[in-house]
């Protein structure tokens, strides 16, 4: 059986739709269920729905053979696994955003609220700018509104969250999408089933493997 870890939410819904369209059916799956593990009707594939930062952890440690996760997670941490292809779903961008119309402070370091401290640090380092990072876990858009930071570094998909909270994107600096990742051992020993998953999600483009 091939064990697939999916980031719960938008990505898992799209990937399960790909699998269903390719004839791999998960009879117990529905988007509103609180159930976390689903097995297909031939007992060949098992899906586990996990929080997105945990997907590569499952795959690296062999708790899952393959996984689908946003590139943001793979950029934020480094893992020993194969990144096979870009599935072309879950497209969004990493942005710097701030309160609409407000200019940035001068004469002191910029304070940046983010769920992605490594990505933010690397981005500002590439500009030669020293900033103070405030690591947060979610609802990052609140940070400038409550005076916790000057700007945020976060993913923007539709832009609705920024708009509805009176923020605006100042710079987009990284294109993101969902990636298929594979455990190194599984890539050798479960190749046939993995190739089937790659075929189901075809349309994705091959990436390099680290």
According to CB under 6 A, which residues from 159 to 178 bind ligand PRP?
159-161
Which stretches of 80-181 are DSSP H helices?
A: 117-126, 142-145, 160-164
Q: How many residues bind ligand PRP (CB under 6 A)?
A: 12
Per rule CB under 6 A, is residue 139 in the interface with ligand PRP? yes
Using CB under 6 A, which of 27, 107, 128, 138 touches ligand PRP?
A: 138
Report d(CA 127, CA 143) in Å as an integer: 23
- Taking the complex as a whole, the smallest distance from the CB of residue 62 to ligand PRP amounts, in Å, to 27
User: Rounded to an integer, what distance in angstroms lies between the CA atom of residue 79 and that of residue 179?
Assistant: 13
Answer yes or no whether residue 155 interacts with ligand PRP by CB under 6 A: yes
Closest CA to 179 of 75, 97, 104: 75
Contacts for 63 with CB less than 8 Å, ≥ 6 apart:
3, 5, 57
| CB-nearer residue toward ligand PRP: 14 or 161 | 161
The answer to whether residue 157 forms part of the interface with ligand PRP (CB under 6 A) is yes
Which residue, 30 or 139, has its beta carbon nearer to ligand PRP? Answer: 139
- Residues from 48 through 107 that contact ligand PRP (CB under 6 A): none
Planar angle of CA 209, 68, 153, nearest 5 degrees = 90
Name the residues that contact ligand PRP, by CB under 6 A. 138-141, 154-161
């Amino acid at each position: 059986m091939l064990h697939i870890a999916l980031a719960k939410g938008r990505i898992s819904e799209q990937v399960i739709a790909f699998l269903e369209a390719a004839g791999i059916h998960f009879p117990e799956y529905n988007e509103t269920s609180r159930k976390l593990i689903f097995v297909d009707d031939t007992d060949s594939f098992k899906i586990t729905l996990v929080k997105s930062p945990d997907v590569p952890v499952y795959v690296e440690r062999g708790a899952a053979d393959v996984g689908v996760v946003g590139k943001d997670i793979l950029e934020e941490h480094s893992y020993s696994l194969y990144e096979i292809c870009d599935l072309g779903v879950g497209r969004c961008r990493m942005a710097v955003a701030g309160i609409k119309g407000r200019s940035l402070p001068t004469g002191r370091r910029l304070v940046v609220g983010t769920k992605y401290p490594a990505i933010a640090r690397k981005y500002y380092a590439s500009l030669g700018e020293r900033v103070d990072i405030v690591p947060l876990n979610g609802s990052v858009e609140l940070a400038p509104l409550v005076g916790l930071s000057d700007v945020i570094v976060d993913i923007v998909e539709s832009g609705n969250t920024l708009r509805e909270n009176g923020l605006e994107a100042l710079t987009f600096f990284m294109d993101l999408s969902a990636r298929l990742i594979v455990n190194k051992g599984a890539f050798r020993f479960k190749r046939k089933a993995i190739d089937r998953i790659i075929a189901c999600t075809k349309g994705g483009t091959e990436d390099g493997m680290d």
